[in-house]
Amino acid sequence: MKTMTLDQMTLGERGIIQGYEGEEDLHYRLKELGLVRGTAVLVKRFAPLGDPMEIVLRGYSLSLRKQDAAKILVSRENQGL
Amino acid sequence: MKNITEKKNKEIALVGNPNTGKTTIFNALTGLRHSTANYPGVTVEKKTGWMKLPGGEDVSVLDLPGAYSLLPRSLDEDIVHDVLLGVRCDTPPPDLVLVVLDANNLERNLYLATQVLETGIPVILVLNMWDMVRKSSASVDLEKLQKLTGVPCVPTVGMEREGIQKLEAAIASVFMETSPAPANLRFDPFLPEILKIELDKIVVVIENCLKDRPEAVFGESLRLLSDRLFRSSFFEDVEIGNLLRTEILSVRSSLKQRGIDWTSVEPECRYTAIEHLCGQIIRRVPQKALTFSEHLDRILTHRIWGVVAFIAIMGIIFQSIFSWAQGPMNLLSRFIEKLGGLAQGWLPTGPLQSLVVDGIIAGVGNVIVFLPQIFLLFFFIALFEDTGYMARAVFVLDKLMKKVGLNGKAFLPLLSSFACTVPGVLATRTIEDRNDRLATILVAPLMSCSARLPIYTLLIAAFIPNIHVFHVLHLQGLTLLGLYLMSIGAGLGVAALFRKTFLKGNRMPFVFELPPYRIPHLKTVLGTMWDRAKEFITRAGSIIFLLSIVLWFLVSYPKDPVAATKFSAARQVAAKTCSGEVLQERLGLIEHDEKNQQLRSSYAGSLGHAIEPAIRPLGFNWEIGIGIIASFAARELLISTLAIVHHVQPEGEGMTAGLIDALQKQRSTETGKLVYTPLVALSLMVFYVLACQCFSTFAIVKRETGSWGWMFFMIFYMTGLAWGSSFLVYQGGRFLGFQ
């Protein structure tokens, strides 16, 4: 199982959140939005200029910036859909 | 004073995540019986209304701002937190909270709901947008949700008023019960043993204070553990507060020692419990086919087509503001002229007539003329918000805006500012983060608003040669384009500077949602447009009304009795010596001379003289000084002021041509040189691009930032920027040998 950060995932890829890189107060809001350990995420799309990105989690879609996604550790699931 | 024997009305508050349709529920419950104000001391809108329960009882309804969590990160969320936890004296906690949930996104929406349940205030869960659940392949077991949470759950479709009667009945029955059933959502079964032991240390301290609602103790201790700022009414008691703080800090460090990140404890616990809950009530069938929204998004957020669509849509908005609005604007300005003429006829000649005609009608008229533009702008904004496109524009633009330290949501306010700064500043309310919002407000007045356009047009027509560069590019058009680019460049540059210095950092990460597209609801769009236009008219209108009077006074006083006698003698002479058309013409000239004389000797004239030393290095004389002062009421007044000081007869359409001619020929009485050279005109245009000369802007910035300090800072930095840039243009131009 390979660990990477959320912003490195490619379109349509699925992963499981493993935690956060560093400790920042800003992460707390992301956790409150459901991006906690063990959450399954799917990369839905990237904005035309490559940033931000939209992900699907817990049955809803959320757009966030790559700079924030870069702090979220994920493990890629074996098969992408 | 209130009658104390009068029974206090029950109060309901609506709480929910952003984009849950909370306001549609509010409107459905209260009908048109609502009013908006601000919470004292902050710029968050307070929307209150009234509803009648089936039993006939009147209940007040408060629409709290959207929030994701009771651990606040924005002004909006501060309010929700403070009201529900009873911290605000002006708004006591409600008797009942309606938590509005997007029924299609229950997991995340329940996060806030669980926190609200723990406040101990009775709750009803409102599952809004239920029609989408029906249409989708998922199903939600309401009975089970009700059983597991212990509170009433009502499905609604706010837009269609569906389920509102049931909701009203549920509210009435909650108020009828003497002791509402306690919420019984439990977290403990999912907790690792170690966390239970640690959290118990906090539980022990607060248990005694929460005797009446033991079910809230556990959730409250989770919240206390996570709040870095120690916000809770427990801290009001010094003894308990100190003990609690010590315990919380020791739990945090003890967790840290064991390698547990204490900032993850609350969200992880809550989501584990919520997942367990949702697992029992939601049944999802995976769907294969793309929805209509997803098809549309394939185009509108496409790498190429997304950008093309964005530019086309913004093009339409711009086109409509600047050309479609022209017809109605001309009509309005003719109407205001007529009104002035009528008032002149009705009122006897004298100070009162002058105040009404030259002060109030002309001053307020200058703003009313912009209404068609403002209405169109608000219409398009409301339309694109309602269809769901606005969020896509944020998605497309965010990367560019990020480069100057702003976010995608700053785009709309800045675009609006090209029509008028006031609605632009109002539109910044959608930006949650304080620093992002402040930076956007501070640079919004740099966007070249439409009041500056007449000045550019006049000066360009008068001083920029009508020639082509490289055979195709029109020099006059290029200059105009250059001024607009300069305004954008200055705005973005200043924003980047502020965000890198004293407005550094954010309180929350920039996240947003792309709601599904939908057919716009004309009633909603027009309603939103009207609400915002009304706000513009009342806010800007009242201040402009007052300032028009002040400015009128500055321009009309002090009166010179000697000059008055002189001009009335001249009129008598004219009446004796000529008649008919010749007489009319003669009287017109005399009146114009009188106005000119009056302006020169007025307070405004003295002010113009007084600021002359400061503006001389920019190439401006005192006549321009008067114009700059008059511009504070409305920038285009520069034109009419110049017309008066340079003896140009106002003759409707012909005035511009006459004024251009007068400006081109004006020579200094001392040196005999031309006063207005192309270089002076350029310096003046640069000054108007960058200077903050608008009282309505001052007023709205003061109100939206809630501080005089930011307002004065804005005036100061913009004036400095304008002065410095004009100085560079004028002195630099002279250095290079231009006149």
User: What share of chain A has pLDDT > 90, as a percent?
Assistant: 78
Domain boundaries, chain A: 3-76
Q: Is B222 on the interface with A (CB under 8 A)?
A: no
Whether B520 and chain A come into contact, CB under 8 Å, resolves to no
Cα dist from A18 to A66, B163, B511, whole Å: 17, 41, 20
Contacts 24+ apart (CB under 8 A), B560-568: B560/B597, B560/B598, B560/B601, B563/B594, B563/B597, B563/B598, B563/B601, B567/B593, B567/B594, B567/B597
Burial class (CB in 10 A: 0-12, 13-18, 19+), B570: middle
The domain B188-283 is classified under which CATH number: 1.10.10, 1.10.3470, 1.10.287, 2.30.130?
A: 1.10.287
Below-70 pLDDT ranges, chain B: 1-7, 41-43, 178-188, 213, 215, 286-289, 539-540, 647-656, 669-670, 739
Q: By CB neighbour count within 10 A (0-12 exposed, 13-18 middle, 19+ buried), where does B54 fall?
A: exposed
CB B301 to CB A47 under 8 A?
Answer: yes
B71·A28 Cβ contact <8 A? yes
Question: Interface of chain A against chain B, CB under 8 Å?
Answer: 19-20, 23, 25-34, 36-37, 39, 45, 47-52, 54, 58-65, 68
pLDDT digits (tens, 9 = 90+) for B244-285: 899 999 999 999 898 888 888 889 989 998 999 999 998 877
Q: How far apart, in Å, are the Cα atoms of B713 and each of B441, B508, B691? A: 12, 25, 13
pLDDT of residue B2: 41
Q: How many CB atoms lie within 10 A of CB B99?
A: 27
pLDDT tens, residue by residue, B592-609: 777 778 877 888 888 888
Sorting pLDDT into bands at 50, 70 and 90, what band is A78? Answer: low
Count, residues in chain A: 81
Look up the CATH architecture of domain A3-76.
Answer: Roll (2.30)
* Predicted local confidence at residue B124, as pLDDT: 94
Would you call B215 an interface residue with chain A, using a CB distance cutoff of 8 Å?
Answer: no
Are A51 and B402 within 8 A, CB to CB?
yes
What tokens were used for B591? 């009146």
pTM: 0.81
pLDDT at B653: 47
Selection from B391, B433, B406, B226 nearest residue A62 by Cα: B391
At B550-579, the pLDDT tens digits run 878 887 888 878 888 888 888 888 888 887
Interchain CB contact of B132 with A (< 8 Å): no
Architecture of domain B10-176: 3-Layer(aba) Sandwich (3.40)
Q: Which of B229, B503, B508, B271 is nearest to A27 (CA)?
A: B508
B282 DSSP β-pair partners: B140
Q: Would you call A45 and B301 a contact, using CB atoms and an 8 Å cutoff?
A: yes
Which pLDDT does position B103 carry in this prediction? 93
CA distance A48 to chain B (A): 4
From first CA to last CA, the distance across chain B in angstroms is 70
CB-based contact B511 A50, cutoff 8 Å: no
Contact A28 B267 (CB under 8 A): yes
Neighbours of A44 (CB within 10 A): 19
DSSP secondary structure, B497-561, as one string:
HHHHTTT-S-SS--EE--PPP----HHHHHHHHHHHHHHHHHHHHHHHHHHHHHHHHHHH-S--H
The amino acid present at B145, given as its one-letter code, is: L
Q: Do A59 and B304 touch (CB under 8 A)?
A: no
Phi, psi angle pair for A46, to nearest 5°: -110, 150
Compute the CA torsion angle B650, B653, B654, B658 (nearest 10 deg): 70
Provide the pairing of β-strand B153-155 with B123-128.
parallel
Q: Is B402 on the interface with A (CB under 8 A)?
A: yes
Q: Which pLDDT does position B181 carry in this prediction?
A: 60
Q: Residue B62 pairs with which residues in a beta bridge?
A: B13, B48
CA-to-CA distance for B350 and A51, rounded, in angstroms? 64
Residue A9: pLDDT above 60? Answer: yes
For chain A, give the DSSP string. Answer: --EEEGGGPPTT-EEEEEEESS--TTHHHHHHTT--TT-EEEEEEE-TTS-SEEEEETTEEEEE-HHHHTTEEEEE-SS--
Q: Where are the domains of chain B?
A: 10-176, 188-283
Are B261 and A50 in contact (CB < 8 Å)? no
Residues in B closer than 8 angstroms to A39, CB to CB, are: 271
pLDDT confidence bin for A67, thresholds 50/70/90? very high
The alpha carbon of residue A31 and the mean position of all alpha carbons in its chain are separated, in whole angstroms, by: 11
3-state secondary structure of B11: strand
Q: What residues in A contact B304, CB-CB < 8 Å? A: 48
Distance, in Å, from the CA atom of B421 to the CA atom of B537, rounded to the nearest integer, reads: 13
In B320-370, alpha helices (H): 326-346, 351-354, 362-368
pLDDT, position B716 = 94
Do residue B111 and residue A49 have CB atoms under 8 angstroms apart?
no
